Structure 1
């Protein structure tokens, strides 16, 4: 099988695709990293795929054991992508990092919304943005890689009846990061998060991009 054709095959065995690798060198680097990750993390389930990619993203296989999955989040993400659901991020870095190929979802950043709410309430811009986007949250893919305050805000709206399709919440740090992810994990909604203070933008981006890759594989098979 040629290298080009192998990028569009079933990656549960020995083949591999990376839609973001646009040159042969980039593809080989990505493939080599993933081959190692498969051996260390395992390659049996969609969750393993996410564990692999997130571990590669941070250069630490310890990340695989910190990831938490609730209510079949990978299929939920793929269904939402197929439906063209909004992808709503907390910061620009997450928005920029998400793969643009292979789906029709519009990617919004909360920082572009809710400025007046932030000023009136004295809350973070990311939290205010999610409040302003309340109507767009239903059925959306929420991706929070940095802001615990935004994740707590989204969790509060979920408790009020707002239902995103999936929340990927991996904020990093020592102030409310662990607590916000614990709240997310307690909710009856599909989610991907990390335990404790570790996480960050690379983990959130890697998680959603792996779901996009799985979607592309299914479309090509």
Structure 2
């Protein structure tokens, strides 16, 4: 009978995922795992049911769920699904409020650290004044607003030096190639959110594939006119690339419209894409999902820049793209949009023209 059980060490080795005995003991304490049976020597003993439960916990945690969410998901049966949905909605709003507060903190830090060389004296003065700030009354809060107003007034003296600001705010990119670091910097500048760096994904030698395709006068396809309008037409023409639009309807002004039009009218146009093209999807998640279907049926783009907008279909389409064999550039989750997708293409075209002999990206497993 002893052979039917696993020790806590054997349990963690079986589950994998960097699981440790300490984490297992913590899951017992917070109620995620039931207390195990004990041996005569008082050792914890686990069953295959415990293995499955722990694997569920690991999988959900890897997807970003907090332990409180995981406990609710595992404990709630299907009959109370509506109650669970309400509880998760409440927790989602709580998380969003926390993110908003963190965003405010980040904005304050960016306001100090993002100052360029011309503002460094002002930065030192600002830090000194913040240390002396008294905010015990409402007047104190007004004093803080006055400080920001005085610091902001100095920004009229000179144009912003974006490169200097990014040096202080971007995470360490020394392990990235020069071209990838430049791409990430341009994406951050396009949206104003430094945290985007953590969500950008490049796969299957994307940079090499992009440079090879663009230097071979490939077809460049955007999903909607708004995305194509943001392409650097001058550089693409210099490279000899023909630009086309998949959903060529000038009246489309939103992701919702693009989604509906493509779903009903344009899916068959994917089969007409040229082999070795670069496809840029910035609006409709159904386009990206249909592209993944078409890849399985034989189309072979050289690169897909997939950054559609959406809250359920877009993340699903991006996950499928990242599992494909095609080189890709995408953003995890709901982040994305037509401007970011176009900026990614433009950065690649610019780097190819400005540094045609650069091979720094070849050492990467991007």
| Pairwise TM-score range, normalised by the shorter structure | 0.7 to 0.9
Residue segments in structure 2 that go unaligned for 5+ positions in a row: 1-158, 250-258, 359-366
Inter-CA distance 207–34: structure 2 relative to 1 (3 Å threshold): farther
The question of whether the paired residues in 1 share the 8 Å contact of 2:224 and 2:248 is answered with no
Residue segments in structure 1 that go unaligned for 5+ positions in a row: 1-27, 114-122
C-alpha distance after superposition, 1:118-143 (max 9, x if no partner): xxxxx843354453142324210000
Once the two structures are overlaid, the 10-residue window that deviates more, 45-54 or 68-77, is 45-54
Q: 2 CA distance for matches of 1:215 and 1:126?
A: 32
SS in 2 for 1:173: coil
Q: Is 2:77 aligned against 1:77?
A: no
Aligned partner (choices 237, 252, 275) of residue 138 of structure 1: 275
Which runs of 4 or more aligned residues in structure 1 lie more than 4 Å from their structure 2 counterparts after TM superposition? none
Matched residue, 2:147: none
Q: TM-score, normalised by structure 1?
A: 0.75
Matched residue, 1:110: 246
The question of whether the paired residues in 1 share the 8 Å contact of 2:273 and 2:299 is answered with no
Matched residue, 2:316: 179
SS in 2 for 1:139: coil
Matched residue, 1:48: 181
Inter-CA distance 146–83: structure 2 relative to 1 (3 Å threshold): same
Aligned partner (choices 77, 84, 88) of residue 221 of structure 2: 88
Query: Between Structure 1 and Structure 2, how many residues are aligned?
Result: 183
Q: TM-score, normalised by structure 2?
A: 0.47
The question of whether the paired residues in 2 share the 8 Å contact of 1:152 and 1:180 is answered with yes
Higher relative contact order (CA 8 A, sep 6+): 1
